[in-house]
Chains A and B, each alone.
Chain A
């Protein structure tokens, strides 16, 4: 089965630096999600795209986080500047459409020093 691809798998950076994560969803999937998973907790939705449009970014800290999906395919999540509290696993998921099963990538583990 095709997978959701994420890169990098691991990222270590210092606070105040910029960091970016990339996600390539399963081909044909219109809906793309970015989640943040703090150690010991369940994932929390940061942003949801339907094709190239944001449909939910209510939990995205917009002063430092941004997300885009310009052509409605792959997506980038950026943090600038990074803070110590941003250390977490960042998971991308995609689904054929809203209300369809979500398929998750392996995530990017971010450590802020």
Chain B
């Protein structure tokens, strides 16, 4: 069945460092791809999405490009801030159902 695999955390970086969180997927057809963020004690918020190959989703300085050839949707940010500390989930939508990865916890040191 469809699935999402993302890099295990925790990931700890210093402020202003470059961030990459890897995500690959397995799916039949051409799913939409998402990154969600979950801050402590809160629900999930949609961070960005891409609906077709080569689309780039972006929001709040984060970017991810839908790569069909490598079935990947890696999350990047050029300069992280302490406020970016959270858990990040890669997800795909197939047949109106969202399938989430297991999440990557990101901690940013001041």
Which chain A residues have a beta carbon within 8 Å of chain B's beta carbons? 4, 6, 40-45, 48, 56, 91, 93, 98-99, 101-107
Contacts and interface: CB of A to CB of B under 8 A. Distances in A.
B96 A104 contact: no
Given A104-B43, A106-B43, A40 B103 contact: yes
A98 B103 contact: no
A40 B102 contact: yes
A105 B43 contact: yes
B26 interface: no
A42 B43 contact: no
Interface residues on B, range: 10 to 19
Most buried by B among A43, A98, A103: A43
- Residue with the highest number of chain A CB atoms closer than 10 Å, among B91, B93, B100: B100
A23 to B, nearest CB: 11
A6 B102 CA distance: 23
Contacts, number: 43
Interface of B: 4, 41-46, 49, 89, 91, 93, 96-98, 100-103
Given A98-B96, A106-B41, A42 B102 contact: yes
A6 B4 CA distance: 27
B93 A99 contact: yes
B43 A4 contact: yes
B44 A91 contact: yes
17 contacts: A4-B43, A40-B102, A41-B103, A42-B102, A43-B44, A44-B100, A45-B97, A91-B43, A98-B96, A99-B96, A101-B46, A102-B46, A102-B98, A104-B43, A104-B45, A106-B41, A107-B43
A42 B97 contact: no
A97 to B, nearest CB: 10
A42 B45 contact: no
B103 A42 contact: yes
Contacts of A4: 43
Contacts of B101: 42
Nearest to B93: A99
Contacts of A44: 100
Nearest to B105: A40
